[in-house]
Every structure is written in structure tokens, then in C-alpha cells.
Homo-oligomer: A and B are copies of this chain.
Amino acid sequence: MLSFECDYNTGCHPKVLARLCETNLTPMPGYGTDEFCESAKRKILAACGCPDGDVQFLVGGTQTNAVVISSLLRRYEGVIAADTGHIAVHEAGAIEYTGHKVLALPEHDGKIDPAELRNYLRTFYADANHDHCVFPGMVYISHPTEYGTLYTKSELTALHEICGEYRIPLFMDGARLGYGLTSPETDVTLADIAALTDVFYIGGTKVGALCGEAVVFPKKAPPHFITMVKQQGALLAKGRLLGVQFDALFTDDLYMEISRHAIRMTEMLKELFLSRGYTFFRQSPTNQQFIVLNDEEAARLAEKVRYSFWERVDDCHIAVRFAAGWSTTEEDIAALAEILSE
């Protein structure tokens, strides 16, 4: 069935698959020490403009958040996030499972506000009893956010400065980073991100890979990071699986190219909904679009096309998500147009 359900509903980009096929029987050492991983790391660091940084490949998003956050925090620290942040609501308490609190700030279009962050930190340290509280030890942002929105360069710069003042790392969850970098509305580049964060990840699972996220430390990974990765069951014996895929994605600009394609498909999708008079639940400049449907229409559409339920709006309307991705085609959009016309 036609599917706009999510951006992880197909396998991997054909060029990634081809590279997996070519390299399939070449013997390689395990645990990410192979030359495919090495090559991919070099290419990623070059693309980020931080050749002396570190890269670690992990398998999925929740895993990456849990490993990075719990490896960087001291045990008496928690991580600040928007109250709609993925780690705050949709990871089954994975951060708390490692012993750390998620300190929630109010979201604004899915983002945290630099002024509110500064105020939170100032208030924390001004409280004479702060020794009885969880120390803010890190700031987590997602870009795009869970609502598809993006930080501006100026917002990122502000967050970077505040984190610098308080000497806590800024961590960007880039599960859909490609779609953020190629949005027509962004002024943020990959190099900007490497310059303005302490650690971020480049999402593969949702942008052309079978699985895999590339964690980038623009300066340096924490000591014994590999042991902490192993300790959380996140070290892949066949690290090559991730290395080969990211090597393909960072060859000839493939990662950006397929992200741009997804954004083009999103523009068509947006246009289609606009032209048919649909109401948008939230404005999103990236590949996830949120539409309001009445219950009847939602049921009718669900027979022909897959989408995601987002939340109930009122007694007879729901918000739903239609996501485009690297594998969305013009034919998919045309098929949807036809369904909407019925």
C-alpha cells in the first residue's frame, strides 16, 4: 500500500545497497576497526570541517541518545531537553534507565528557547539548596525537532554560548539531520553544527541507511567511549555494516543529494495539501508534514494510504503525519493526489 507513514519504511538507498553487495565477502576485523569504518569516519569529519574529531557508529536513535548522554554526564547530572524532546517522551525512559533525569524546559515549536535556558541555569545556581537537586549537565536538542522545526544559526550560537559559559556540552540529535540541512528555510550547515555543538549525530536510519547513526565529536570522544558503548550493548560485532553504509552515504555527496530529493518531494506534498485546502497542524520546513483531518476523512484515507496518527485535535478531528523521505517518488505523490481527489 502507498505509504507516507514515516521515513524509515523502506530499506536503504540503492547505492548503499550496492556497496554492501560489493564488499560482502571481504574479510574485515570486527567492532568497527575495519577500513570501511575508517574511510567513512574520514569522509564524515571532512564534511564536518573537523578532521581531528572522532566518529562512532551506532545502530539506532534511542540507543545513540542513551549512550551519548550517559557517557558524558557525571552521575549527579541530568540532561536538559524540551518537554516534547524524544528523550523526554518517546524512549520508554531510556535515559532514566541509565540513572539520569531528563530536565524538561517548555517547548516552543519543539525547540528550547535560549533565554529560558539561561534563566533556568542561572536560577539553578542561585538556589542555595541546589546541592539537593539534579545538576544540569548537558543540553539536548533535536534538529529537526520532533515537529520538523529547525534551529536558526543564531539560536544555535546562543545555545552554544550559554553551554560554554556553564561548561556543559551541547548535544544535537540529528536523526533526520539530512532533511534539516537541505530545508529551503535553514541557514545552518553541517560545519556550523560541528562548530557549535560538542557532540551530534548524523542520522542514517531515516536518511538512506538500513540502520546506523554516526556520532560526531568535533573535538574528541570521552575516554574509554568504546567500553561504554559495549557496556550498553551497542557495539556491533560487524561494525563494517555501519562503516560501509556511511562510506557510501558520504561519497559523492550522496547523503545531501538524497536529502534534497526528499525535501523536493516534501514541497510537492505540501503543495498538494495546500492546493486541496487542508489545514496544517504545525508548520514544518522539513520532511514531516502535519495535517488536520476530520475523523471520517481520516478513516476513508486510511483505506488507501498509510500515514501516522499524531494526536487528537478535538471531538471530530485528528492531526496526522505524512512523511516524505529519500525513497519517496513523484509517482507516490501523484498516487496520493489521485486518492485525495476521490
Alpha-carbon distance between A227 and B90 when the two chains are bound, in angstroms: 10
Give, as a whole number of angstroms, the nearest-CB distance from A64 to chain B. 8
Contact of A60 among B3, B9, B102, B236 (CB under 8 A): B236
The verdict on A233 contacting chain B, using a C-beta distance below 8 Å, is yes
Please indicate the chain B residues that have their CB under 8 angstroms from the CB of A102 in the complex. 101
Please indicate the chain B residues that have their CB under 8 angstroms from the CB of A5 in the complex. 27, 29-30
Q: Is the CB–CB distance between A9 and B21 below 8 Å?
A: no
Q: Is the CB–CB distance between A60 and B26 below 8 Å?
A: no
Alpha-carbon distance between A324 and B339 when the two chains are bound, in angstroms: 54
Query: 1/0 per residue A89-103: CB within 8 Å of B?
Result: 111111011111110
Please indicate the chain B residues that have their CB under 8 angstroms from the CB of A74 in the complex. 224
Q: Is the CB–CB distance between B11 and A23 below 8 Å?
A: yes
The verdict on A10 contacting chain B, using a C-beta distance below 8 Å, is yes
Please indicate the chain B residues that have their CB under 8 angstroms from the CB of A6 in the complex. 30
Q: Is the CB–CB distance between B99 and A76 below 8 Å?
A: no
Give, as a whole number of angstroms, the nearest-CB distance from A223 to chain B. 8
Alpha-carbon distance between A110 and B84 when the two chains are bound, in angstroms: 24
**What is the predominant secondary structure among interface residues of chain A facing chain B?**
loop
Alpha-carbon distance between A98 and B76 when the two chains are bound, in angstroms: 12
Query: Interface range on chain A: under 10, 10 to 19, 20 to 34, or 35 or more?
Result: 35 or more
The verdict on A266 contacting chain B, using a C-beta distance below 8 Å, is no
Give, as a whole number of angstroms, the nearest-CB distance from A265 to chain B. 14
Q: Is the CB–CB distance between B25 and A10 below 8 Å?
A: yes
Please indicate the chain B residues that have their CB under 8 angstroms from the CB of A101 in the complex. 93, 96, 101-102
The verdict on A186 contacting chain B, using a C-beta distance below 8 Å, is no
Q: Is the CB–CB distance between B92 and A76 below 8 Å?
A: yes
Q: Is the CB–CB distance between A9 and B29 below 8 Å?
A: yes
Please indicate the chain B residues that have their CB under 8 angstroms from the CB of A3 in the complex. 27
Q: Is the CB–CB distance between B99 and A230 below 8 Å?
A: no
Alpha-carbon distance between A230 and B27 when the two chains are bound, in angstroms: 32
Query: B-contacting residues of A (Cβ < 8 Å)?
Result: 1-3, 5-6, 8-12, 14, 17, 20-21, 23-30, 59-67, 70-71, 74-76, 78, 89-94, 96-102, 104, 128-129, 131-135, 205-206, 210-211, 224, 226-228, 230-238, 240-241, 306, 309, 327
